[in-house]
Structure 1
């Protein structure tokens, strides 16, 4: 598989978003609104449609859900353990770790959906939609928990209002109930989903920042190591343990190697932490995704197929 050809369309959109934000009047203020439009409307529509249009095999999906939860819990546990790694305990500030731990296990859904479509078409979109649905509540709790003392909202309220959870839950319920989108509405929904991928990737590029990288270098290396090396290795083990089929294994490996969520810095800043430092880690993670994705798909996936 030509990974440069596979990844180029999506990472080129990230680069385009970065260049437009930095060198045209369409600055960060514009892209913040675009990000909100995609997150609260376009993206939930894509998730709902992706789950609804493909029949669900509950027995097969249970293994995928189990693997997704195990991957998320494993990533959270490893991220929380960083201050106890040999030689790091006295070099990591508790507040910096609380804000940065989320980098290690959260994921960029925009890139994931775009790549799943290119890797496995509609079936890939269904698998990634299910993974996102079961992972978002877990990841949100894992991200907020160490910063909870500064939060003004409870966990339950955050989860109930999350548009990704609403879109996924709605798609699952509608699928199980036998609901189908009317033929006349299908083109509109499909175009909204397509727009969400392109705009989401460009918004990820617009949000990249390289300042503040000099803060807490050891912590940054640790969480990025988890995100881009340990998570794919863990996913490889889980593919074997849960006996995932080829499409599920491919998407789980891709999912494990994704760059971290671009909204990490928003959450950190909103809760009173060093948002600039987290934004810098998000930027580096986006670039490292160009290495971890070929690692997961080109090096680790053949081990499963052997």
Structure 2
């Protein structure tokens, strides 16, 4: 499978946003309202729809759910622990770490949904929907907590007001209650989802300053190592611990190796942190996905 071809649309949109912002009249003043639109409306609608539309069979997927939650907690713990790592930890800026820790555990759900059908078929699509439904709330809480703490904002208030968490929680509730969108509304919601993907990625590119990586080289390398090496290896261990079958193992390994979420940049920027630095990490993570996905689905799956 050509993973580079699969990831190219996301990376090309980030590049387009960067070029448009830097070399046309559509500068940062234009893109700041776009970020607000994506963060407060487009992404929440997309999250709600992605979770609500795929029925969650929680009973038959209990082992996969357990492994997914354990993977989420483990990857969050690894990302949070970076300032305590020997040699490099004491040199990390705490605010920069608070903004970028989310890159180490969040995932690009658009790539997940595009890839899983080719890798694991229709059953795999149901399984990834389960993982998205149970892990997105956990990851969003994990992303908001350090930034709310370092910004001296009320954590509970930030969670209740966070549109990404509201969209995720309401989508999960609608799914479990059996709510279904009317057929006539589906095309509109689908187009909102497509717009959120394109504009979110372009906004990440518009806010990107690759030179900003100099603000925390060691931190950036450590976060990306957690995301693209540590998390897939942790997934391999959990496959054995939870005794997942072959299909579940494939889905979990793919899930662990995905590039980070493009909304990492939007969240960091809207909460007053170094958005360009996070956007650069998102770009590098998208590129590294071309390596980590074959590593997880080829090398690690071959070790089962």
Paired position in structure 2 for 1:193: 193
Q: Is the 8 A contact 2:14 2:283 kept in 1?
A: no
Aligned-partner SS, 1:225: helix
Deviation (angstroms), 1:145: 4.1
Pair 263,197 (structure 1): closer, same or farther in 2 beyond 3 Å:
closer
Deviation (angstroms), 1:114: 4.6
Q: Is the 8 A contact 1:113 1:197 kept in 2?
A: no
Residue 53 in structure 1 maps to residue 32 in structure 2 = no
CA distance in 2: counterparts of 1:146 and 1:236, whole angstroms: 28
CA distance in 2: counterparts of 1:266 and 1:185, whole angstroms: 27
Paired position in structure 2 for 1:18: 18
Pair 20,155 (structure 1): closer, same or farther in 2 beyond 3 Å:
same
CA distance in 2: counterparts of 1:209 and 1:117, whole angstroms: 34
Deviation (angstroms), 1:222: 1.6
Pair 285,247 (structure 1): closer, same or farther in 2 beyond 3 Å:
same
CA distance in 2: counterparts of 1:201 and 1:51, whole angstroms: 20
Q: Is the 8 A contact 2:47 2:164 kept in 1?
A: yes
Paired position in structure 2 for 1:71: 71
CA distance in 2: counterparts of 1:139 and 1:64, whole angstroms: 17
Q: Is the 8 A contact 2:159 2:165 kept in 1?
A: yes
Aligned-partner SS, 1:70: helix
Paired position in structure 2 for 1:202: 202
CA distance in 2: counterparts of 1:15 and 1:185, whole angstroms: 32
Paired position in structure 2 for 1:103: 103
Pair 90,14 (structure 1): closer, same or farther in 2 beyond 3 Å:
closer
Paired position in structure 2 for 1:299: 299
Aligned-partner SS, 1:55: coil
Deviation (angstroms), 1:226: 0.9
CA distance in 2: counterparts of 1:101 and 1:36, whole angstroms: 22
Q: Deviations over 1:176-201 (max 9, x none)?
A: 33333223223322333333333333
CA distance in 2: counterparts of 1:53 and 1:149, whole angstroms: 34
Pair 171,118 (structure 1): closer, same or farther in 2 beyond 3 Å:
farther
Paired position in structure 2 for 1:174: 174
CA distance in 2: counterparts of 1:53 and 1:268, whole angstroms: 28
Aligned-partner SS, 1:164: helix
Q: Is the 8 A contact 1:116 1:125 kept in 2?
A: yes
Q: Deviations over 1:105-158 (max 9, x none)?
A: 233445445545665677656544543443344334434444544435322222
Pair 253,177 (structure 1): closer, same or farther in 2 beyond 3 Å:
same
Structure 1 unmatched runs, 5+: none
Paired position in structure 2 for 1:288: 288
Q: Is the 8 A contact 1:64 1:248 kept in 2?
A: yes
TM-score (norm 1): 0.79
Aligned-partner SS, 2:214: coil
For residues 1-306 of structure 1, the aligned pairs below 5 Å read 1-116=1-116, 127-244=127-244, 248-264=248-264, 274-304=274-304
Deviation (angstroms), 1:74: 0.9
Q: Is the 8 A contact 1:50 1:122 kept in 2?
A: no
Pair 184,69 (structure 1): closer, same or farther in 2 beyond 3 Å:
same
Alignment RMSD? 3.4
* Number of residue pairs aligned between Structure 1 and Structure 2: 304
